[in-house]
């Protein structure tokens, strides 16, 4: 199936891309194309004009600076997968995205801007308290992950803005993160995905952050799980009890289902995925 006809522009810089966005009201940005092109082929989107930003070098790559790591929006999933500078949950999640051809072309920025509820990176970035940096013709602004993902395929990114970088805290001693998911065997999209980041000191958990995706309209933090974890131990019983608390974060009427898995099934699997993520995160924090 072919997409509808469109005009094509290639931007050599962020400023040039912003200028083109200002000139063409119905334009869409094209990076790796794994989100936009399929929906165009299905006639779910007909932008008329595509602005290719895939060659803008200033927003590519991963840079660690003391206690933070900056990820350029055009960084590919393969680059994330191979990075030793990122919190462990990010390379782990990137390694499970689709297949090598998709990981070699798909970008972090395109992935999170599309905000597919079955995508992996939004869930991990929410658990890592990431910050999203954006630029428009009027200036720059930053949005915390908790405010960036707003609804089904919706984010805080405005039509005239470009996501330039994603910032996460570097993972120091005593802190660990992990991602676990039940994936669709054909597409490898998450039917249930769980991400956790914890600090452990003297056998006690603190600063626990847990997020879940794949079974709700957009990734969400799990306040009940975090409350059960903080100040508690790291033994199997403690992690099991905390993981089961995810059901308090997932009211039955919020969970979505489809032909691959019912809402009831996804909700029943959620505690197991959360426990897997917690167990790995704790092991990494204490190793």
Look up the CATH number of the domain holding residue 265. Answer: 3.30.390.50
Can you give the CATH number for the domain in which 32 is found? 3.30.43.10
Rounded Cα–Cα distance for residues 90 and 70 (Å): 13
Kindly report, residue by residue over 219-232, the tens digit of the pLDDT. Answer: 999 999 999 999 99
d(CA 278, CA 193): 12
Q: Is the pLDDT of residue 113 over 90?
A: yes
165 or 47, greater pLDDT: 165
- 140 φ/ψ sector (left φ>0, alpha ψ -120 to 50, else beta): beta
* 8, pLDDT greater than 90: yes
On whether residue 37 sits in a domain, the answer given is yes
Indicate if 229 and 190 belong to the same structural domain.
Answer: yes
Work out the mean pLDDT of the chain and round it to a whole number.
95
* Domain ranges, residue 216: 175-286
Residue 1 placed within a domain: no
63 and 165 inside one domain? yes
Least confident of 2-6, 58-62, 200-204: 2-6
- Burial label, 264 (beta-carbon count in 10 A; 0-12, 13-18, 19+): exposed
Which of 109, 141, 169 is where one domain is finished?
A: 169
β 204-213/190-201 pair status: antiparallel
Task: Give CA separation, 73 vs 109, 222, 253, in Å.
Answer: 4, 26, 34
What number is the average pLDDT over the span 37-52? Answer: 88
For residue 180, CA distances in Å to 35, 120, 268 come to: 23, 9, 15
Q: Is residue 2 part of a domain?
A: no
My answer on whether 282 and 195 are in the same domain is yes
42 within domain boundaries: yes
Sign of the alpha-carbon dihedral angle for 142, 284, 219, 101: positive
**Same domain for 99 and 70:** yes
Query: Is there a domain that residue 230 lies in?
Result: yes
Q: How many domains does the chain have?
A: 3
Confidence check: pLDDT of 146 > 80: yes
118 and 140 together in one domain = yes
Judge if 80 and 164 occupy the same domain: yes
Report whether pLDDT(1) > 80.
no
pLDDT greater than 80 at residue 57: yes
Indicate whether 64 and 43 sit together in one domain. no
Determine how many CB atoms are found less than 10 A away from the CB of residue 241: 15
Look up the CATH number of the domain holding residue 90: 3.30.465.10
Cα-atom radius of gyration of the chain, to the nearest Å? 19
Average pLDDT over residues 240-259: 96
Same domain, 39 and 64: no
Contacts of 269 (CB under 8 A, 6+ apart): 182, 191, 192, 261
pLDDT of residue 32: 84
Residues 65 and 82 in one domain: yes
Question: Within this chain, do residues 42 and 80 fall inside the same structural domain, yes or no?
Answer: no
Show the tokens assigned to 18: 């912003």
* Residue keyed to tokens 């001693």: 173
Is pTM beyond 0.75? Reply is yes
Lowest mean pLDDT among 35-49, 69-83, 115-129: 35-49
The per-residue pLDDT for 186 is 87
State whether 269 and 186 are in the same domain: yes
Query: Nearest Cα to 265, choosing from 178, 150, 154, 184?
Result: 184
Assess contact for 80 and 91: CB atoms under 8 A: yes
pLDDT at 4: 83
Same domain? For 180 and 282 the reply is yes
pLDDT tier at 200, thresholds 50, 70, 90 = very high
Q: Which of 111, 107, 124, 81 is nearest to 219 (CA)?
A: 124
d(C-alpha 156, C-alpha 173), whole Å: 33
Model pLDDT, residue 125: 98
Determine the pLDDT at residue 61: 98
């Amino acid at each position: 199936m072919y997409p509808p006809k469109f005009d094509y522009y290639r931007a050599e810089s962020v400023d040039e891309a912003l200028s083109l966005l200002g000139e063409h009201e119905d334009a869409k940005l094209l990076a790796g194309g794994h989100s936009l092109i399929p929906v165009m082929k299905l006639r779910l989107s007909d932008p008329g004009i595509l602005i290719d930003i895939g060659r803008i070098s200033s927003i590519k790559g991963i840079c660690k600076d003391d206690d933070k790591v900056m990820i350029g929006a055009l960084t590919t999933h393969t680059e994330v997968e191979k990075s030793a500078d990122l919190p462990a949950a990010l390379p782990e999640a990137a390694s499970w995205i689709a297949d090598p051809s998709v990981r070699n072309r798909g970008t972090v920025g395109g992935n999170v801007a599309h905000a597919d509820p079955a995508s992996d990176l939004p869930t991990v970035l929410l658990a890592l308290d990431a910050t999203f940096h954006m630029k428009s013709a009027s200036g720059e602004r930053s949005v915390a992950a908790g405010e960036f993902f707003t609804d089904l395929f919706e984010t805080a990114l405005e039509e005239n803005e470009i996501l330039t970088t994603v910032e996460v805290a570097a993972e120091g001693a005593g802190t660990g993160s992990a991602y676990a998911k039940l994936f669709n065997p054909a597409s490898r999209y998450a039917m249930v995905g769980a991400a956790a980041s914890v600090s452990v000191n003297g056998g006690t958990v603190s600063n626990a952050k847990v997020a879940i995706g794949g079974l709700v309209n957009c990734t969400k933090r799990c306040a009940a799980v975090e409350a059960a974890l903080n100040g508690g131990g790291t033994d199997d019983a403690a992690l099991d009890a905390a993981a089961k608390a995810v059901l308090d974060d997932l009211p039955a009427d919020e969970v979505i289902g489809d032909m691959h898995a019912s809402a009831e099934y996804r909700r029943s699997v959620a505690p197991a995925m959360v426990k897997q993520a917690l167990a790995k995160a704790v092991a990494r924090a204490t190793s």
